[in-house]
């Protein structure tokens, strides 16, 4: 007996048989046991030609090089800052990556980043022992003042941003808030207080209903109802370039 | 006198008590589950993988699994129990950890910890098995990489009969020998990850009991699987 035992996009649980025989290849989140391919975590099974992989639905974010994430400074060291990445591992922001300004020898580093500051930064390197280096040198990487921070499931981040940022720019246009989404699932929202609350409510709604198809339209209706103003169509949104995208 | 009819009215000696399970019952936990078999109910909450303190407990080659089993003071027969860990709870925490660890793949989380908290608001025998079943659903719900779920149920001997899933009345049967054998199994391979015994049993009956309990595991596995699938209604992400 050989062949698939599940369909594309099925929710599978650990240990579930995905395919029998040697016709398919196990990829991310799957493993081979004798002549079966089984799921190695909870998620959506995706079949891509002969390759079966699992897209996780839950679990912690694992940092990858060049990801832009939102972190919180929790310690100031001799040669830089330690930041909380909201993963099991904290990251190092070295002095030269922390600011463009010249830092005098022996200067007080809290002048640049104080404990408790939130920063938008980019992952430079991740080692096998999960030591992480981040940098703030790059377009759009900066300290985040004011506003509110929320945490969402990091696996839902692509859905919150949407295709070419369609979802997040719609929320921005409707609420007038500035929004930044880190790959680690931390979202920064800054604007009028009532609008911040609406933006957060919308983002939570996107997170919760991420599996529903046609979500962009649902959210559009929801935002039009709440703000009482008509939103422009997608095509017009795209012609309006915005700097806050990530 | 032989044991002819089960005390709680179950039809056969291999029938399990009614089971309900639900994933995602504790909002703030990374993963959680509820598992109820008969009158034994367990909640499990999973946090992590997260940073492990104290640092001397960290393992540089893999993540650590830490389990904490607690019976609520009001859960048993109404005798007040001092809350918090006692000698029995510490032992069960340890065997739970050893029962779950073989399926977990924590290579990708060096120095980190996965915390599992198991709490039993209601107990009627078989509490460590219910706790392991709940914990296994909660770990999967938390997205922890794992080869398989873990199913657990007790078996044993009451009087002259080999039975599966003993309740308290059967454990307390006084007209003959009684043994209570909690068993946990990896369903895909049939390997046992927990095997303990209270009481006495002959070798022949023990083999018979293990054979029967393996058959019952499928029933538990299906309940666990459905609990997880029910939490995530079908339909994929459009953007992925």
ipTM for the predicted complex comes to 0.89
Q: Does B111 touch chain A (CB under 8 A)?
A: yes
Question: In this predicted structure, what is the pLDDT of residue A246?
Answer: 43
Q: Is the pLDDT of residue B26 over 80?
A: yes
Is B49 within 8 Å of chain A by CB? Answer: yes
Which residues, other chains included, contact B214 with Cβ-Cβ below 8 Å and sequence gap of 6+? B185, B190
Q: Which residues contact B18 (CB under 8 A, 6 or more apart)?
A: B37, B38
Angstrom CA distances, A115 to A46, A76, A94, A110, A111, stand at 42, 7, 15, 7, 10
CA–CA distances in Å: residue A175 to residues A170, A179, A189, A232, B76: 9, 10, 10, 13, 54
Q: What is the pLDDT of residue A233?
A: 57
d(CA A82, CA A92): 5
Instruction: Give the mean model confidence (pLDDT) for residues B87-104.
Output: 96
Q: What is the CA radius of gyration of chain B?
A: 18
CB contact under 8 A, B187 and A15: yes
pLDDT band at B234 (very low <50, low <70, confident <90, very high): low
CA torsion sign for B223, A39, B147, A159 is: negative
Q: Number of C-alpha atoms within 13 angstroms, CB side, residue A65?
A: 5
Residue B85: pLDDT band by 50, 70, 90 thresholds?
A: confident
Instruction: Please return the burial class of B229, using the count of CB atoms within 10 Å of its CB with bins 0-12, 13-18 and 19+.
Output: middle
Phi, psi of B11 (to 5 degrees): -70, -40
Binary contact (A159, B239; C-beta < 8 A): yes
Maximum distance among all Cα pairs of chain A, rounded to whole angstroms: 71
In degrees, rounded to 5, the angle at the alpha carbon of residue B121 between the alpha carbons of residues A59 and B106 is 25
- Nearest residue of B to residue A8, measured between CA atoms: B236
- pLDDT for residue B232: 83
Provide, as residue numbers in chain A, all residues whose Cβ is less than 8 Å from the Cβ of B112.
88-89, 130
At B48, which helix (H) or strand (E)?
strand B40-51
Paired strand residues for B178: B158
Instruction: Determine the average pLDDT of the residues in B73-100.
Output: 89
Q: State yes or no: pLDDT of B236 exceeds 70.
A: no
Q: Is B51 on the interface with A (CB under 8 A)?
A: yes
Q: Which residues of A touch B238 (CB under 8 A)?
A: 159, 213, 215
**What residues in B contact A16, CB-CB < 8 Å?**
225
pLDDT digits (tens, 9 = 90+) for B194-210: 999 999 999 999 999 99
Exposed, middle or buried by CB within 10 Å (0-12, 13-18, 19+), for B114?
buried
Tell me: pLDDT of B48 over 90.
Answer: no
* Closest chain A residue to the Cα of B227, Cα to Cα: A13
CB contact under 8 A, B228 and A13: yes
Q: Is B187 on the interface with A (CB under 8 A)?
A: yes
B29 — contact with chain A (CB < 8 Å)?
A: no
**Averaged confidence pLDDT in chain B:** 93
Query: Would you say residue A238 has pLDDT above 60?
Result: no
Query: A-contacting residues of B 52-71, CB under 8 Å?
Result: 60, 63
Q: Work out the mean pLDDT of chain A and round it to a whole number.
A: 89
Distances (CA, A) of A123 to A25, A83, A138, A150, A183: 31, 12, 11, 20, 10
Do the beta carbons of residue A233 and residue A167 sit within 8 Å?
Answer: no
Q: How far is A215 from chain B (nearest CA, A)?
A: 9
Q: Which pair of structure tokens corresponds to residue B6?
A: 């089960």
8 Å CB contact of A42 and B140? yes
Residue B1: the pLDDT is 64
A94, two tokens: 């070295």
Distances (CA, A) of A56 to A5, A155, A189, A205, B144: 19, 7, 26, 19, 10
pLDDT, residue B239, reads 45
State the DSSP string of B62-88.
S-EEEEEEEE-TTSSSS----SS--HH
The pLDDT tens digits for A146-181 are: 899 999 999 999 999 998 999 999 999 999 999 999
Find where tokens 């799957």 sit. Answer: A30
With CA atoms as reference, report the closest residue to A112 among A84, A143, A134, A74: A143
- Residues in A closer than 8 angstroms to B229, CB to CB, are 11, 13
Q: Chains A and B: how many Cβ contacts under 8 Å? A: 117
**Cβ of residue B226 closer than 8 Å to a chain A Cβ:** no
Look at A4-18, B91-105, B183-197 and tell me which has the smallest mean pLDDT.
Answer: A4-18
Q: Is the CB of B235 inside 8 Å of chain A's CB atoms?
A: yes
Tell the CATH topology of B19-229: Ribosomal Protein S5; domain 2 (3.30.230)
Residues in A whose CB is inside 8 Å of some CB of B read: 8-11, 13-16, 29, 31, 33, 38, 40-44, 46, 55-60, 62, 88-90, 128-130, 158-159, 162-163, 210-213, 215
Chain B segment 193-222 residues within 8 A of A by beta carbon are: none
Q: How far apart are CA A52 and CA A4, in angstroms?
A: 10
Nearest to B148 among A14, A58, A89 (CB): A14
pLDDT band for A43, please (50, 70, 90 cuts): very high
**Helix H segments across A46-185?**
95-98, 157-161, 166-175
Q: What is the pLDDT of residue A234?
A: 53
A134-144 residue pLDDT tens: 999 999 999 99
Compute the average pLDDT of residues A188-201: 95
Alpha-carbon gap, residue B35 to B226, rounded angstroms = 12
How many Å apart are CA B11 and CA B155, to the nearest integer?
16
What residues are paired with B185 via a beta bridge? B151, B192
Residue pLDDT, tens place only, A8-41: 888 999 999 999 999 999 999 999 998 999 999 9
What digits encode the pLDDT tens for the residues B147-177?
999 999 999 999 999 999 999 999 999 999 9
User: Which residues from chain B sit within 8 angstroms of residue A211, using beta carbons?
Assistant: 232-233, 235-237
> Domains in chain A, start-ordered, CATH in brackets?
3-56 (2.40.50.100), 68-144 (2.40.50.140), 148-239 (3.30.1370.10)
Q: Using CA atoms, how far apart are residues B69 and B45, in angstroms rounded to an integer?
A: 11
Residues of A in contact with B108 (CB under 8 A): 62
Pair of tokens at residue A228? 């009482």
- The pLDDT of B88-108, averaged and rounded, is 96
Tokens of A218: 């649902």
For residue range B107-133, list pLDDT tens digits in order. 999 999 999 999 999 999 999 999 999
How do strand A118-126 and strand A143-144 relate by DSSP bridges?
antiparallel
Is B109 an interface residue toward A (CB < 8 Å)?
A: yes
Task: Report how far Cα B143 is from the mean position of its chain's Cα atoms.
Answer: 19
Does B227 have pLDDT greater than 50? yes
> pLDDT band for position A66 (50/70/90)?
very high
């Amino acid at each position: 007996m050989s062949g698939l035992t599940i369909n594309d996009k099925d929710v599978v649980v650990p240990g579930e048989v995905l395919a029998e025989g040697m016709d398919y290849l196990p990829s991310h989140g799957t493993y081979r046991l004798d002549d079966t391919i089984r799921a190695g975590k909870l998620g959506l099974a995706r079949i891509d030609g002969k390759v079966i992989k699992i897209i996780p639905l839950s679990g912690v974010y694992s940092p990858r090089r060049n990801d832009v994430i939102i972190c919180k400074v929790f310690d100031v060291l001799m040669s830089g800052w330690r930041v909380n990445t909201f993963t099991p591992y904290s990251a190092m922001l070295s002095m030269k990556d922390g600011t463009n300004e010249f830092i005098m020898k022996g200067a007080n580093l809290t002048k640049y980043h104080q404990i408790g500051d939130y920063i938008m930064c980019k992952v430079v390197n991740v080692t096998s022992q999960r030591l992480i280096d981040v940098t703030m040198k790059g377009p759009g990487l900066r300290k985040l003042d004011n506003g509110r921070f929320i945490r969402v499931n990091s696996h839902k981040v692509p859905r919150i941003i949407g295709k070419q940022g369609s979802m997040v720019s719609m929320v921005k246009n409707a609420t007038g808030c500035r929004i930044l989404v880190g790959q680690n699932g931390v979202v920064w929202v800054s604007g009028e207080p009532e609008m911040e609350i609406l933006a957060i409510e919308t983002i939570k709604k996107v997170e919760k209903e991420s599996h529903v198809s046609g979500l962009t339209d649902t959210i559009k209706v929801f935002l039009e109802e709440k703000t009482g103003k008509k939103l422009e169509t997608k095509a017009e949104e795209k012609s309006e370039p915005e700097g806050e995208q990530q | 006198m032989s044991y002819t009819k089960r005390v709680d009215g179950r039809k056969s000696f291999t029938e399990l008590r009614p089971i309900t399970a639900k994933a995602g019952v504790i909002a703030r936990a990374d993963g959680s589950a509820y598992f109820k078999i008969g009158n034994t109910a367990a909640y499990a909450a999973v946090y992590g993988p997260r940073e492990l303190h104290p640092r001397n407990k960290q393992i540089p080659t893999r993540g650590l699994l830490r389990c904490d089993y607690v019976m609520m003071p009001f859960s048993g027969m109404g005798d007040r129990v001092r809350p918090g860990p006692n000698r029995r709870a510490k032992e069960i925490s340890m065997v739970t950890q050893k029962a779950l660890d073989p399926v977990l793949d924590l290579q990708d989380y060096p120095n980190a910890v996965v915390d599992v908290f198991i709490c039993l608001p209601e107990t009627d025998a078989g509490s460590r098995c219910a706790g392991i079943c709940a914990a296994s659903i909660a770990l999967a719900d938390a997205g922890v990489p794992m080869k398989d779920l873990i199913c657990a149920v007790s078996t044993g001997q009451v009087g002259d009969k080999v039975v599966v899933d003993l309740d308290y009345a059967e454990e307390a049967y006084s007209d003959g020998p009684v043994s209570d054998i909690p068993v946990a199994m990896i369903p895909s391979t049939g390997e046992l990850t927990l095997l303990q015994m209270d009481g006495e049993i002959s070798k022949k009956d023990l083999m018979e009991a293990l054979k029967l309990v393996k058959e019952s595991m499928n029933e538990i596995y299906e309940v666990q699987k459905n609990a997880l699938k029910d939490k995530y209604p079908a339909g994929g992400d459009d953007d992925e």
